[in-house]
Amino acid sequence: MVRRPIAVFLACLYALGGACAAPASAASRATGGHAGTGMRGSPASRPDACLARHAVPQRRHGVGGLTHALEPREPGPDEVARMSADLARRLGAAQRDDTARRDDTARRDDTARRDDTARRGSAPGTLERITVPVWVHIIRDRALGLPDAAVSRQIAVLNTAYSGGYGGADTGVRFELKGITHTDNRSWFRDPIGYEEPMKKKLRAGGPETLNLYIAQLSRLVLGYSTYPYWYDDEPVLDGVVIDWRSVPGGPLRDFARGFTAVHEIGHWLGLLHTFENGCKAPGDSVDDTPAEAYPTNGCPSKKDTCPAPGGDPVHNFMDYAQDRCMREFTAGQGVRVHQMWDAYRRPAPREAGAGPQKAAASIEGPAADGADDGVPSAAEGGEEPVMEAQGDARGTGR
């Protein structure tokens, strides 16, 4: 049985055109409806989530209204401050450990010391290659949903974007497709936010280093959302990225059909914040070479400068909110931050190196919910978790 705070979420859903939702059990995982200490992992579960996640961002987006999705799991300023403090603490501890180790082995292992320095990002352009294993989970409503052929196009876009192929810096991150799962479930397809926990519990594979990309259909103002590395220890089963199947390369969303929604959300999964984080106030997004930005970019302006500090707004950065045709780059500083986050939160322990996913990909089918195609799953009305039946013809697609 999955209990969902229907009154709160449906009120937002209809008032805001389907944009407000939160994980199905977010309100029940901790005392007072909070999902862990300091709202970690589920800031959208607060009673004021609709106002905090919708009304306020619309005011700060400036003239022209919203042209990009709102993100249900976007952390607030207090959570960002905790994330930054924890990263600094972990990096400081790691640096002390590395210094002690190098003092012990410098004479015997000078080459390894130089490699470690490069990995830490102190030498731009020499970042160690990070290869992220990817499991793609396609959620469908019978014939409606992402075709398998689109998966390879999305992975190719990720590798081009993160290697600097569209412009900007090479972050040193590459993505390797390990497999695809297939799930036919109308409720999960049409409400992946509301059914987040049962969906991810059923499908998730791998450890903190494994990207689980769930592809379903979100509401008209939500193209995708992601968890952050900092949250993994508290809620590992919820770790991953969810995107709308219509935003993949060649999808039907006119302004967001180049696959850059996944690029943006995976940036969060790797630890990057929005370029407009904290507006014009320090520390912004904690990356030195992304100029401060007072509010997100709408559409695709030729230029924009909203803060008094030097430098125009990074309107072409993947971590802004511009349309796909306007996005093309990460910065070298963002690449360094990704590597810091990877070392602090996602790099597999030595004993896990080379290990495969914790469970195999499966083709899973479940009964489609009855009722009219109104965008609200019938199963949600009774609060029942859909009954899932695992099939024997497991399929996996690798590279």
| Residues classed as catalytic | 265
Asked if 182 and 395 touch (Cβ cutoff 8 Å), the reply is yes
Alpha helices, H only, 106-132:
110-119
Return the DSSP state at 244: E
Return the DSSP state at 76: -
- Sequence length of the chain is 399
Cα–Cα distance measured from residue 19 to residue 391, given in angstroms and rounded to the nearest whole number: 33
Q: Give me the sheet containing 363-365, strands edge to edge.
A: 224-226, 241-244, 211-216, 130-140, 173-184, 363-365, 389-390
Alpha helices, H only, 106-195:
110-119, 149-162, 186-190
Q: How far is CA 82 from CA 100, 106, 341, in A?
A: 27, 35, 14
Alpha helices, H only, the chain:
6-15, 49-50, 56-60, 77-105, 110-119, 149-162, 186-190, 196-203, 260-269, 332-341, 378-382
